[in-house]
Amino acid sequence: MAEEIKFKTETKRLLDLMINSIYTNKDIFLRELISNASDAIDKHHYLTLTDQSVAPQDYQIMVVADKNDKTITITDNGIGFTYEELKENLGTIAKSGSKEFVEKLDEKNKDSVDIIGQFGVGFYSAFIVGSEVEVLTKSPKSDKAYVFRSQGLDRYTIDECGKETVGTTIIIHLKDDTDDVKYSEYLDEWKIKELIVKYSDYIRYPIKTYVTSWEETDEKDDKGNPKQVEVKKLETVNSMVPLWKKSKADITDEELNGFYKDKFYDYQDPMMSMHFNVEGLVSYNALLFIPKRSPMNLYSEEFERGLQLYTKGVFILDKCKDLIPDYMRFVRGLVDTSDLSLNISREMLQDDRTLKKIASNVEKKILSELEKTLKNDRAKYEAFFDEYGISIKYGCYEDYGANKDKLKDLLLFKTLKEDKYITLSEYVAQMPEGQKDIYFACGKDRATVINLPYLDQLKKKGYDALICVDGVDEFLFNVLRDYNEHQFKSVNTGDLDLLDEEENKKIDEIKEEKKDLLQALKDSLKDDVVDVVLSKRLTDNAVCLSSKNNVSIEMEKILAAQDKYGAKAEKVLEINPNHEVFKAVEAAYDKNPDDIKKYATFLFDNALIVEGLPVKNNVEFAQIMCELFVNANK
């Protein structure tokens, strides 16, 4: 008795979509099923390498049409399904890409089913052309064989069956022809052959189908000519050269994009594709892609980076992380090498010297590709940087800056002067005479940063500043230290040394004069700041904070959010000596020196607010404000 099971909800939705969509490219169903068959064979082959009890097969994929039954049958001798796998893989949408896709479609794109045409939907695409689909399968891990049947409605059945060989046979019962669509077209030999050659030529296993030809016999016809008979022969139709083994010139963009979307479950073309055929100390072929959109979890711990690894065309590992540095975790793709042994274990791979050489070569190649793009196609590079710039920054500062020299010229920043990206070398080239350092200003976003009070002095001098809005930026500059001998200087943290001698002297005089007041403020704030000084960079604002150690105020915020180190900035309260508030504090101090704690708190809390930090004690702050206001109006 067959067991009847319901599809999971999102699977059902995908099925509805497959069945009801006026699918523009119905052809892709065959590509999808052949690609699954090829993966299944890869898995079987891999199993034979690790499990002596499983014998390798004469691997092949067969596609056969039956005009009487109106069926297309796709057979592979791959890994097959166990009962649980059938339920898990065909009863549920297995891959996250499809799930995400269905969810998105549900939200807003209900009508634009066209985009499915670009999207690998896997097994379910059988329902684009089929009214019923049967999957007969046997796994080497199971004694029993099973048949899965579904009409793409809300349920499917699983039953035991008598299949004896390991592998999977998918029988598609074609839908009836309509005025618009001739499903029966797929029963024609030439059509099947055309589809295999068009979409699955590079599949590494023979894809066989029946091809009819006329052959002469020994018999003669009336005219004495040899009689001809129709002969059906099973032929291999694909060239079996994997895409990455072909020469660049022989691959069209369409093929490359299709391959990427199919293999890496994306519905958009990649942002960049790279194809390397390297021969030398190490030899390998690589097909690498940078997706248009970075995955949501790119920077989370569960994200698994890595490239697919093949040796001599045989699939070894899905996510080989040793092939790609952490900061390039966004790169997808595969590497095929003949320099590794076929049955190398995953554990051994980690320390393998050949693999390390390939990895470092791959890294170099990608970097040079990025440099080329930056030079030759600025818009494309900027789009890349918008999406992955943080990764490049991260690469500069991870491992204590070990990679910074190869990455620093790939950095882009917006600046104080223009809301446009520039490189560090462009910044340096544009520095006015007299400017020695490279200034950077950090904050929440560009609009906030360009209004920071500390920038007044820079603006006056006509100097530009890099605007830093990413959390990693300050850490980055700490590691970079300088660029072509120009030091990086934070506008937020300390004295920028921008005043001329005269102005400096004046401030030093006031400092001497107001020594007592400054000391009294410092004593009052001894738990909060390491110093109270007269500012050399404020023009309009009364107060601000800077930091004495390597932890800036911005960093402190980031670190606090991560709750990791809890490292604190050594804060310095800067007071603008030319500001009315300073004069008012002076006067108040002369009158009521005992209230110094109040004035100090008032100044410090003001500075905290300017920095976007919480004041120490809300109630106390409110009370002081009220008191000062009342006194001022008495």
Give contact residues for ligand ADP (rule: CB under 6 A). Answer: 36-37, 40, 76, 78-81, 89, 94-95, 120, 122-124, 168
Q: Helices in 470-514 by DSSP H: which ranges?
A: 473-480, 501-513
Tokens of 168: 């999977």
**CB nearer ligand ADP, residue 193 or residue 261:** 261
**CB nearer ligand ADP, residue 124 or residue 289:** 124
Place of tokens 């206001």: 629
**CB nearer ligand ADP, residue 5 or residue 530:** 5
Q: Using N-to-C axis directions, what is the helix angle for 596-610 and 515-524, rounded to 10°?
A: 80
Tokens of 491: 């506008």
Q: Using N-to-C axis directions, what is the helix angle for 28-50 and 253-264, rounded to 10°?
A: 60
Tokens of 533: 């000084």
Place of tokens 């990679």: 403
User: Using an 8 Å Cβ cutoff, are 286 and 275 in contact?
Assistant: yes
Taking the complex as a whole, how short is the minimal distance between the CB of residue 38 and ligand ADP, in angstroms?
9
CA distance 447 to 455: 13
Taking the complex as a whole, how short is the minimal distance between the CB of residue 447 and ligand ADP, in angstroms?
44
Taking the complex as a whole, how short is the minimal distance between the CB of residue 139 and ligand ADP, in angstroms?
8
Q: What is the per-residue DSSP string for 204-240?
A: SS-EEEEEEEEEEEEEE-TTSPEEEEEEEEEEE-S--
**CB nearer ligand ADP, residue 95 or residue 378:** 95
Taking the complex as a whole, how short is the minimal distance between the CB of residue 465 and ligand ADP, in angstroms?
49
Taking the complex as a whole, how short is the minimal distance between the CB of residue 405 and ligand ADP, in angstroms?
41
Residue nearest to ligand ADP (CB): 122
Q: What is the per-residue DSSP string for 548-591?
A: SSS--HHHHHHHHHHTSS-----EEEEE-TTSHHHHHHHHHHHH
- Provide the 8-state DSSP code for 616: S
CA distance 146 to 136: 6
**CB nearer ligand ADP, residue 75 or residue 535:** 75
Taking the complex as a whole, how short is the minimal distance between the CB of residue 168 and ligand ADP, in angstroms?
4
Residue 502: half-sphere exposure toward Cβ, Cα within 13 Å: 0
- Alpha-carbon dihedral sign for residues 369, 264, 78, 134: negative
3-state DSSP: the chain helix, strand, coil percent, rounded to 5?
A: 45, 20, 35
**CB nearer ligand ADP, residue 124 or residue 310:** 124
Comparing CA positions, the residue from 600, 458, 440 lying closest to residue 520 is: 600
Taking the complex as a whole, how short is the minimal distance between the CB of residue 100 and ligand ADP, in angstroms?
13
User: Using an 8 Å Cβ cutoff, are 14 and 98 in contact?
Assistant: yes
**CB nearer ligand ADP, residue 139 or residue 415:** 139
User: Using an 8 Å Cβ cutoff, are 210 and 302 in contact?
Assistant: no
**CB nearer ligand ADP, residue 161 or residue 613:** 161
**CB nearer ligand ADP, residue 136 or residue 600:** 136
CA distance 462 to 433: 10
In DSSP terms, 174 is beta-bridged to 130
Taking the complex as a whole, how short is the minimal distance between the CB of residue 75 and ligand ADP, in angstroms?
9
- Provide the 8-state DSSP code for 452: -
**CB nearer ligand ADP, residue 262 or residue 554:** 262
Taking the complex as a whole, how short is the minimal distance between the CB of residue 80 and ligand ADP, in angstroms?
6
**CB nearer ligand ADP, residue 99 or residue 417:** 99
Taking the complex as a whole, how short is the minimal distance between the CB of residue 278 and ligand ADP, in angstroms?
29
Taking the complex as a whole, how short is the minimal distance between the CB of residue 89 and ligand ADP, in angstroms?
3
**CB nearer ligand ADP, residue 196 or residue 533:** 196
Q: What does each C-alpha distance from 392 to 398, 466, 468, 476 come to in angstroms?
A: 10, 16, 14, 10
Taking the complex as a whole, how short is the minimal distance between the CB of residue 85 and ligand ADP, in angstroms?
7
Comparing CA positions, the residue from 568, 570, 557, 558 lying closest to residue 611 is: 557
Amino acid letter for position 248: K
- Provide the 8-state DSSP code for 87: I
**CB nearer ligand ADP, residue 121 or residue 392:** 121
Taking the complex as a whole, how short is the minimal distance between the CB of residue 18 and ligand ADP, in angstroms?
11
Question: What residue ranges in 175-313 does DSSP mark as E strands?
Answer: 207-220, 226-236, 272-278, 284-290, 307-311
CA distance 5 to 158: 8
